[in-house]
Structure 1
Amino acid sequence: MLCGCVGLVWLYEGDVEVAVYLIWLALVFDFLDGFVARLLRVHSPMGKELDSLADLITFGVLPSFILYKMLQQQEVDAWVPYLAFLVAVFSAIRLAKFNIDENQQTVFIGLPTPANAIFISSLIFVDGSYPSLLSYPVLLIITILFSYLLVSPMELFALKFKDFGWKGNEVRFSFILFSALSLLFFLHLALPMIVMMYILLSFFVKIISTT
C-alpha cells in the first residue's frame, strides 16, 4: 500500500518510471507476504481484506493514473483520459469478487490485478521504444479490454505449486521458462508479452481440459 501511495506522488511529480518500479517492488512484497503466511500457516479475515485494499491502491489506482497520463499525451478530447479510471473501478470489483469467492484456490477467475498492473505499467517502456504501437485507439482498446478481463468469467491458472514435480505442473513450468527467456532477451519489453502469454495459455488450457 505504501508503494502505491509513494508511486502516486512520483507520478504527480512527473517521474513515471519510478512509479512503475514501485509497482514492481510491490509485486515482490505481494508475493512474499503470501509466501510467509503459508510458511507460518497464519491467516485472518483482516489480513485478507487488508491485502485487497493494498492491491486496489497499488495495482488498480496507480496503473489507472499511468494510463491516464499516457492518454493525456495523445491528441484526444479532454474527457478521454478519464476512461483510464475504468481500470481502477473494475479492479475494485475484481478484488471484491475474489474476497467472497471460495472457488479461486487453484485458479483465478478473471485477470488478477497484479498481472494487470504489470501489463499496464510496462507500456511506458513500449511507448519509449516503439511509440507508434501505442496510438490513442490502441490505448483505448487496452483500457476497455483489460477492464473487462479483470471481471471476466475466464479461468486463469495460478502459480501455486503443491509440489515441484513436472507432472501436474507442466503449464506452470513452461510459463516460467517462457517468462525467464523473454526477460533475458527483451528485458522490460518482455513484460507485456509475458502477461499476454499468461492469458492465452490459460485460455488454451481451459479449452483442452473441456474437450
Structure 2
Amino acid sequence: MNFIKNNLANALTLGNLFSGCVGVVHLLSGDYQTTAICIIMSLILDFFDGFVARALRSSSNLGGQLDSLADMVSFGFLPGVAMMKMLEPFGKQLFGSELPLEIKYFGFVITLFSCLRLAIFNLDDDQKYYFKGLNTPSNTILIFGFFYAFKETGTFGFLLDNKIYLLVFTALSSWLLISPIKMIAMKFKSKQLKDNYPKLVLLIGGIFILLIFKTVGIPLVIIYYILISLMFQKQLK
C-alpha cells in the first residue's frame, strides 16, 4: 500500500508524458483532433499529479524532476512541433540559399524557451501562488489553440497565412515564457475573497469566453488570462 501511495503521483506524471508523446505523433501525421485529446489528457494528469502528491503527502524531489521532464514533452516539444507545422507551408530557406535551414524549424525556438522556463521554475522558490512568466501548459493551449481553431473553423487565417506574423508570434510566446510578468496560478492561499478575486475573475471570464466562442475561444482564453494577470500584478504575491 505504501508503494502505491508513494508512486501514484509519479504514475500520473508518466501518464502525462505518454499522452504528450502520443499527441506529438498524431500532430505530425495531421490528426489534430487526437492531438487535442492528448493535450487535454496531459493537462488533467499534470493537474492531478500535484494534487495527489499533496493529498497523500508523497511529494518528493523525484516527483518534481519527473514533472518537469514530462512537461518538456507535452508542453515544450509539442507546441514547438505545432508551430513547425504552421510554418511548414512557407518554403525551404530561412536565411537564403547559402544556408539550408528551413523556416519551419524556427518553431522549435518555443521548445528551447519552454525548456529554459521549466529550469527557471525549478530553481525559483517564489512561484508558489503565482507564476513568473507564462506557464508552459498555457503557452501550449495558446499555440495549438490557434492552429486547431484554424483547422476546424478556418478562423485566424490572418495569422496562419502570414509568415511574418507567425515568426513574431513565435518570438512573443517564447519571451512570455521567461518574462518577469506575474501570472495567476489557480492555487488558493486562503479562503478570503480578496486573496482569490483575480482567480475568480479569470475563471468566470474564461468560462464565458468558451461558452460564447467555443473552439475559437480556446486561444482567446489564454489571451484573457494574460490580460487579467497584467491587471492584477500588485495582488499577485
TM-score range, shorter chain: over 0.9
Select which of 186, 189, 196 maps to 1:159. Answer: 186
d(CA) in 1 for partners of 2:124, 2:50: 18
Task: Note if contact 1:76-1:136 (Cα within 8 Å) is conserved in structure 2.
Answer: no
Q: Provide closer, same or farther for how the CA distance between residues 126 and 141 of structure 1 changes in structure 2, counting only shifts above 3 A.
A: farther
Give the deviation of 1:209 after TM superposition.
5.1
Give the deviation of 1:164 after TM superposition.
4.4
SS in 2 for 1:160: coil
d(CA) in 1 for partners of 2:185, 2:147: 26
Task: Note if contact 2:27-2:82 (Cα within 8 Å) is conserved in structure 1.
Answer: yes
d(CA) in 1 for partners of 2:66, 2:43: 15
Number of the residue aligned with 2:205: 178
Number of the residue aligned with 1:34: 50
Number of the residue aligned with 1:86: 109
1:1-211 matched pairs, under 5 angstroms: 1-75=17-91, 77=93, 79-128=102-151, 129-130=154-155, 131-134=157-160, 135-206=162-233, 208=234
Task: Note if contact 1:16-1:66 (Cα within 8 Å) is conserved in structure 2.
Answer: no
Task: Note if contact 2:32-2:148 (Cα within 8 Å) is conserved in structure 1.
Answer: no
Give the deviation of 1:76 after TM superposition.
6.4
Task: Note if contact 2:129-2:189 (Cα within 8 Å) is conserved in structure 1.
Answer: no
d(CA) in 2 for partners of 1:145, 1:99: 22
What TM-score, normalized to structure 2? 0.82
Greater radius of gyration (CA):
2
Give the deviation of 1:113 after TM superposition.
0.3
Q: Which has the higher contact order (CA 8 A, sep 6+)?
A: 1
Read off the aligned partner of 1:29 and give its amino acid letter. Answer: L
Q: Provide closer, same or farther for how the CA distance between residues 169 and 7 of structure 1 changes in structure 2, counting only shifts above 3 A.
A: same
> What are structure 1's unaligned runs of at least 5 residues?
none
Q: Provide closer, same or farther for how the CA distance between residues 188 and 76 of structure 1 changes in structure 2, counting only shifts above 3 A.
A: farther
> What are structure 2's unaligned runs of at least 5 residues?
1-16, 95-101
Give me the CA root mean square deviation: 1.8
**Alignment deviations for residues 56-112 of structure 1 (CA, whole Å, 9 cap, x no partner):** 000000111011011102356362111100010000000011111111111111110
Task: Note if contact 1:24-1:118 (Cα within 8 Å) is conserved in structure 2.
Answer: no
d(CA) in 2 for partners of 1:178, 1:117: 20
Give the deviation of 1:165 after TM superposition.
4.3
d(CA) in 1 for partners of 2:138, 2:165: 19
**Alignment deviations for residues 16-60 of structure 1 (CA, whole Å, 9 cap, x no partner):** 332232112100111111111222222000000000000000000
Number of the residue aligned with 2:4: none
SS in 2 for 1:36: helix
Q: How many residues align?
A: 209
Give the deviation of 1:157 after TM superposition.
1.7
The runs of at least 4 consecutive aligned structure 1 residues that moved more than 6 Å come to: none
